[in-house]
Amino acid sequence: MTVEFRLNGKTVTVEPRAGESLLETLRERCGIRSLKDGCSPQGQCGCCLALIDGSAKVTCAMTATSAAGREILTLEGLPDTDRHLFARAFAAAAGVQCGFCIPGIALRAKYLLDRHPSPSRDDIAQAIDVHLCRCTGYKKIVDAIELMARGRRGEAIPAPVADGGVGARLARYDAIRSVLGERPFVDDLDRPGLLHGALRLSDHPRARVRRIDTSRAKALPGVVAVVTAADVPGQRWYGLIEQDWPGFVAEGEEVRCVGDVVAAVAALDRHSAREAAALVDVEYDVLPAVLDPVASIAPGAPQVNPKHANLLSRSTICRGDADAALAASAHVVGGTWQTQRIEHLYLEPESALAEPLADGRLHLYTQGQGIFDDRRQVAAFLARSEDEIFVELVPNGGAFGGKEDMSVQAQTALLAQATGRPVKLTLSREESIRLHPKRHPIRMEYTVGCDADGRLTAVKARMIGDSGAYASVGAKVLERAAGHGCGPYRVPNVDIESVAAYTNNPPCGAMRGFGANQAHFAIEGCMDLLAKKTALDPWEIRWRNAVEVGDVFSTGQVLEKSVGIKKTLAAIKPHYDRARAEGRAVGIACGLKNSGIGNGAKEWGKARLVVEPDGTVSIYNGYTEMGQGLLTVLVQFAAEVTGLPAACFRPKVDSTYQLACGQTTGSRATLFGGRAVTSAAAKLRADLDAGLRLANLVGRVYAADVLVDDTTELGAPVARIKTHTSFGYATQMCVLDDRGRVAKIVAAHDVGRAVNPSLCEGQIEGSIHMGLGYALTEELVCDNGMPVTFKLRDIGVLRARDMPEVEVILVEDPEPEGPFGAKGVGEIGLVPTAAAVAGALEAFDGIRRYTLPMKDSPASRAMSVGRRSRS
């Protein structure tokens, strides 16, 4: 059937297949890239927004045929004056991070401003209610829309900061293209002869695969290849730590979760690929699933994963005699805290594109958090050398730890190798949720004592986390939970044990905070309980116990430098006192988070600065840009050191050079990547200082590889324990209104050195958004190993109008091991948040809550999570 409509002022005629969504038509047939697919066909993220006959509509929820005769407007069709204004406003306000959600929001803002030229902040938040942003916390988005409004009223607005080194609020690298939807994500890429891939996932959390029959799938018109485990030429099992995750489950093996891949299809179009994947016939012997981590490690439980016993890991920390100290303590408190499984819900689902090159190599476009790990694992999967795989990062639309493990890279590469053609494979939202690792649910039993003055005497804790079907980095998450089990406090006697267990639930792995969030919810709850027992103010008991330089951290590490926790407590104090004096319900919590993996890992920062013929300088590094702003701060380091303008530098992440650094994880990319760039830039600076100009240096490569290998394993019998390179510290307070809703969060964070204060604030604001969801509304509930919903609203991520006022206070206690004193800020923003909310709720209604999310609270009930008002 032929459909005709007007698109950005031009008449367009298309022939969509039956039932095709308007989003698919506009993206795939009309080449409109400002519309993104974050959740189709749910209509719940707003990334696919277009103006249709003047009304704002989510196009994934409309059929292409319904557009017949209508006038469609996207960002591409706006006048240049509007486009430039919108882009400048978002760049100047730092309202864009990964950028996946922003084109839709910018168009929504135009729709709002056309009708309401002077909206209040509440009006703006209300207007963007259908839009989900997982990165920013919305504050700077609202700032940007306010700037748009001013610009449209003819008022002057600040220009984005175009130049500057360390400390400047330099506009995000590539911000303008990101706002306009011109900066491609993987799914925006196209190639001549491109095939589309799709996966067939397991139907059960645990079952033996008796037979896989691909004949019906292969017979479907348009299908070019169907591959299964039998087609994998190399190592079918991969994994970041344990090689326990098969790219395909084979006949005769068990599927272990509902995200397991049984087959993959390449076809001429995405729809045919998905249809064919559904036609792969799989016969199973269904087995009872192991769903409870405690039952999983009990004797006699079926083994979930053939490569490892159900006990994935056990981490212990033992210092002093905790039992004796507790027995002698003036006050002892305790309880059991339980956290929930959390879905990352980055707005961009997983996607990869693999393209055979004329020289025989394979070009893999990935959005993973460690492109060299992707290359290593894909090469092994295909039985090829790593040199034969050229891997390139396409900066992703959010990751938060969920893109560390392989998702679709190996299957996509295999399809490209099998067909000899470029293949792109993008997951649907449902597939994404089924497949990638989550935040661990952890049960934590705590007993904590203090003396009569409120000084901590001992912490005893037992933790067990559900790691799901694959190891991922689950052992490290539980290790980190144990290591952060005492929070940022001085504790002379420590007895902590944490266990990670396999189950047939969706795998759990890295997610922003990485075990520290869970542990802080419990230890900060204990601090509140002890404050009551000792009749001390919650701020005061934290102040008395907060670590200082020379104190010993939970793991036994002596904290020798950059310990800013008391500075953050002091920064919060006036706000705290004022709110208490006003009679508000206030909660306070502290936190710390390692920067750098540590625990004995060898860690690298690697960089190459290359002077290009066009007068620019490429900055190659091995870490990933995922919205956190890494590429921007690397440019700032290079500009600071060389004295060259920031606009000179072009950051790049690919395998042109051997820059394997492992995953972009542990809040370490600024720390180690920044050190490498700083060091390489110093060599370029030396040449410039010698009188050479860039034109004389074309082709010159300035290299720096920084190795950090002085951390020690947890529990290692060494004289000088140093489990981590560095720590970030924070104090947050939560203020409720008179109805028990979260009115304000004040967050004071020691960031070492704010390389870019706007980006630092953005990381913390975005984290607080995630932390409030963690505290109050978010949970990925599973039933028999299957998420009970894939709907974005039901998962409970907060919307713009759910966000309270957030005030960020940046505290700088320089880190000597960091570039210009900087340390990581990407994760710590939500470490204290849930506990601060719990404290405020107890102050409000007298109920101490031990389980997340705290849905029984007035603060949770007040959250809309997008359930109302949708256009």
List of residues 6+ apart from 300 with CB closer than 8 A: none
User: What would the DSSP string read from start to end of 9-44?
Assistant: TEEEEE-PPTT-BHHHIIIIIT---SS--SSTTS--
Find out whether 512 and 665 touch, Cβ atoms under 8 Å. no
- Nearer to ligand FES by Cβ, of 40 and 340: the residue is 40
Q: Which of 64, 78, 135, 638 binds ligand FES (CB under 6 A)?
A: 135
* 44 makes contact with ligand FES (CB under 6 A): yes
Q: Of 94-102, 216-224, 399-407, 810-818, which segment contacts ligand FES by CB under 6 A?
A: 94-102
- Nearer to ligand FES by Cβ, of 81 and 869: the residue is 869
Q: Of 95-103, 259-267, 356-364, 402-410, which segment contacts ligand FES by CB under 6 A?
A: 95-103
- Nearer to ligand FES by Cβ, of 43 and 832: the residue is 43
Distance CA 756, CA 753 (A): 9
- Nearer to ligand FES by Cβ, of 139 and 308: the residue is 139
* 134 makes contact with ligand FES (CB under 6 A): yes
3-state secondary structure of 776: helix
- Nearer to ligand FES by Cβ, of 495 and 778: the residue is 778
Q: Which of 43, 259, 401, 402 binds ligand FES (CB under 6 A)?
A: 43
* 761 makes contact with ligand FES (CB under 6 A): no
Q: Of 99-107, 158-166, 451-459, 592-600, which segment contacts ligand FES by CB under 6 A?
A: 99-107
- Nearer to ligand FES by Cβ, of 37 and 466: the residue is 37
List of residues 6+ apart from 257 with CB closer than 8 A: 202, 205, 434, 468, 469, 470, 504, 505, 506, 507, 785
Distance CA 399, CA 294 (A): 29
Q: How many CB atoms lie within 10 A of CB 816?
A: 10
Put residue 515 in one of left, alpha, beta given phi > 0 → left and psi -120 to 50 → alpha.
left
* 60 makes contact with ligand FES (CB under 6 A): yes
* 347 makes contact with ligand FES (CB under 6 A): yes
CB of 329: closest distance to ligand FES in angstroms?
A: 46
3-state secondary structure of 834: helix
Q: Of 129-137, 331-339, 550-558, 854-862, which segment contacts ligand FES by CB under 6 A?
A: 129-137
CB of 138: closest distance to ligand FES in angstroms?
A: 9
Location of structure tokens 């996946």: 100
List of residues 6+ apart from 832 with CB closer than 8 A: 520, 524, 589, 590, 591, 730, 731, 732, 771
* 627 makes contact with ligand FES (CB under 6 A): yes
Distance CA 255, CA 306 (A): 11
Q: Which of 16, 398, 728, 740 binds ligand FES (CB under 6 A)?
A: 398
* 40 makes contact with ligand FES (CB under 6 A): yes
SS3 of 525-562: the string is HHHHHHHHHHCCCHHHHHHHHECCCCCECCCCCECCCC
Q: What are phi and psi of 162, to 5 degrees?
A: -95, -15
CB of 768: closest distance to ligand FES in angstroms?
A: 15
CB of 49: closest distance to ligand FES in angstroms?
A: 7
Quick one: which H or E segment has residue 149?
helix 139-152
* 37 makes contact with ligand FES (CB under 6 A): yes
Pairing mode, strands 617-621 and 649-652 = parallel
Q: Of 35-43, 230-238, 548-556, 828-836, which segment contacts ligand FES by CB under 6 A?
A: 35-43
Instruction: Note if the bond before 160 is cis, omega within 30 degrees.
Output: no
Binding mask 367-386 for ligand FES (x = CB under 6 A): --------------------
**Residue 465 identity:** G
* 767 makes contact with ligand FES (CB under 6 A): no
Distance CA 438, CA 780 (A): 9
- Nearer to ligand FES by Cβ, of 125 and 322: the residue is 125
CB of 130: closest distance to ligand FES in angstroms?
A: 7
CB of 346: closest distance to ligand FES in angstroms?
A: 7
* 45 makes contact with ligand FES (CB under 6 A): yes
Q: Which of 25, 63, 74, 136 binds ligand FES (CB under 6 A)?
A: 136
Binding mask 238-277 for ligand FES (x = CB under 6 A): ----------------------------------------
Distance CA 603, CA 616 (A): 29
Q: Which of 46, 465, 673, 821 binds ligand FES (CB under 6 A)?
A: 46
Q: Which of 97, 313, 366, 367 binds ligand FES (CB under 6 A)?
A: 97
- Nearer to ligand FES by Cβ, of 25 and 97: the residue is 97
CA–CA distances in Å: residue 328 to residues 208, 323, 530, 552:
54, 9, 15, 21
Length of the chain: 871
* 102 makes contact with ligand FES (CB under 6 A): yes
Q: Which of 30, 32, 48, 482 binds ligand FES (CB under 6 A)?
A: 48
CB of 349: closest distance to ligand FES in angstroms?
A: 10
How many chain residues bind ligand FES (CB under 6 A)?
29
- Nearer to ligand FES by Cβ, of 49 and 754: the residue is 49
3-state secondary structure of 728: strand
Distance CA 201, CA 198 (A): 10
Q: Which of 14, 22, 39, 775 binds ligand FES (CB under 6 A)?
A: 39
- Number of Cα atoms under 13 Å in the Cβ half of residue 545: 37
Q: Which of 26, 92, 101, 810 binds ligand FES (CB under 6 A)?
A: 101
- End-to-end, the C-alpha distance of the chain in Å comes to 28
- Nearer to ligand FES by Cβ, of 133 and 326: the residue is 133
* 100 makes contact with ligand FES (CB under 6 A): yes
Distance CA 323, CA 191 (A): 65
Question: How many helices and strands in the chain, by DSSP H and E?
Answer: 23, 32
* 50 makes contact with ligand FES (CB under 6 A): no
Q: Which of 47, 64, 67, 179 binds ligand FES (CB under 6 A)?
A: 47
Interface contacts to ligand FES, rule CB under 6 A: 23, 37-40, 42-48, 58, 60, 96-102, 133-136, 347, 397-398, 627
